[in-house]
Amino acid sequence: MIRSKSENTTVSLFMWLVLGALMAFTSLSTDIYLPAMPQMQLDLQGDIELTVTGFLIGFAIAQIIWGPISDRYGRKMPLVIGLILFIIGSVGCAFSENITQILFARVVQALGACVGPMLSRAMVRDMLERTKAAEMLSTLMILMALAPIFGPLIGGQLLKFSSWQSIFWLLTIIGIVMLLTMKKLPETLPKEKRQNTSLWNAFKKYGVLLRNRKFMAYTLCVSFFYVGVYAFVAGSPEVYITYFGVDPQHYGWLFALNVFGIVSLSFANRILVRKYSLDFLLRVATTIAMIAGLVLLVTVKLQIGGIYGVIIPVFFFFSMNGIVAATTTAAALDKVPEMAGAAAALLGSLQYGSGILSTLLLTFFGDSESSPWTMSWIIAVFAIASAGTMLVRSLFGLLPIEIKRTPEEPGKAFAIYRTSWGNKKQ
């Protein structure tokens, strides 16, 4: 943790709150206007799901840029610039009069918003080792979960007495408040630990990371999982509000239900990471998510349970995010501690950039009736891919951990093998 002889408790609490708020930027920027999407589609005359796509495109590209910059110049400077871009993008969204304008504004907004969750992860890795990092990230997931809980609720309530533009004005105000807190935020990457290479050489790190199988196994696991997550985020407003007839003001409660599941699993994960290996927890979580995705596919295809046939399996799938997001991040960054900034950037780029695929699939395969079928099969297919990634890692992760020579056969060595399926910590 950041230490201060006189202000250790105060600074620590401040760091927790600021890092939690920064991690919430992505969710808040996307979730708060979800109840307004049907109305925005009418006003702006275009596929409103593409506003999520535009945001994620900017988000994914910007992380690739900000990662090496943060490794070379520290974490604080990119945060300040990012918040300024977020404010400009939010104002642009509020003034947009057609789909093209808001798409451009959302990209600008994302260029700034991405630094929050990306650098929060890197800052945690700057301060803590693997297990403690996973524990703190689980706690930050709880703070981050406040955004998708309250975001749609606040957005829905604003629509009662104002237009959807007021939602983006609120985001502007939040951005300004966060910018003001940067003055007191300590730098977690001291100058002696920063990368001295040129930015061009720093960008070459991505090639090294992409060839690192251990790092990429965790990155692909969470990226596949988030294709399903964003399929729900982008598809659920039309499914719940248009197809099932849920009132926009009540949509937020259905969305919040899933986030309560994430919060509960995040609390549990803080304890579980002390007892079980991260790989074991990931296998269990992704397997449950896969089963939930398959159940969702069946209930939607056979029209079992109506809206509850969607709500219940989605709850179990979405809740697993409380384990998957924190453990994959901690495990992935632990494999490349010397490139934490670039690694967090690449991981975040692929994780959140995977939502681009979700929204494009929803746009091209969705039907005019806004039925839940397209959303359901996207969740199921990529939940299987996420679980499959961890299974493959397990099958090819059988490595020698101890070499001994037997007295009877002094020239022969044998290896004791084990996998991380057991409950021993690695």
Distances, alpha carbon 240 to alpha carbons 28, 34, 35, 232, 247, in Å: 20, 11, 10, 11, 8
Domain range summary for the chain, segments of one domain joined by +: 11-404
Report whether pLDDT(303) > 60: yes
Say what the pLDDT of residue 142 is.
Answer: 67
Residue 336, φ and ψ in degrees, nearest 5: -140, 60
Q: How confident is the model at residue 403 (pLDDT cuts 50, 70, 90)?
A: very low
Q: How confident is the model at residue 7 (pLDDT cuts 50, 70, 90)?
A: very low
Distance CA 213, CA 221 (A): 12
Report whether pLDDT(327) > 60: yes
Task: Give the residue, 26 or 381, on which the prediction is more confident.
Answer: 381
Q: How many percent of the chain have pLDDT more than 70?
A: 85
Hey, which of 57-61, 102-106, 200-204, 366-370 has the most confident mean pLDDT?
102-106
Q: How confident is the model at residue 12 (pLDDT cuts 50, 70, 90)?
A: low
Residue type, 76: K
Whether this model's pTM surpasses 0.95? no
Report whether pLDDT(254) > 80: yes
Distance CA 139, CA 118 (A): 16
* Average pLDDT rounded to a whole number, residues 203-221: 86
Say what the pLDDT of residue 61 is.
Answer: 84
Q: What burial letters (b/e) apply to 267-283, b meaning 16+ CB within 10 Å? A: eebbebbeebbbbbbbb
Q: How confident is the model at residue 130 (pLDDT cuts 50, 70, 90)?
A: low
Q: Nearest 5°: CA angle at 122, between 121 and 125?
A: 90
Say what the pLDDT of residue 294 is.
Answer: 96
Say what the pLDDT of residue 315 is.
Answer: 95
CATH class of 11-404: mainly alpha
Say what the pLDDT of residue 59 is.
Answer: 79
Q: How confident is the model at residue 380 (pLDDT cuts 50, 70, 90)?
A: very high
Say what the pLDDT of residue 289 is.
Answer: 95
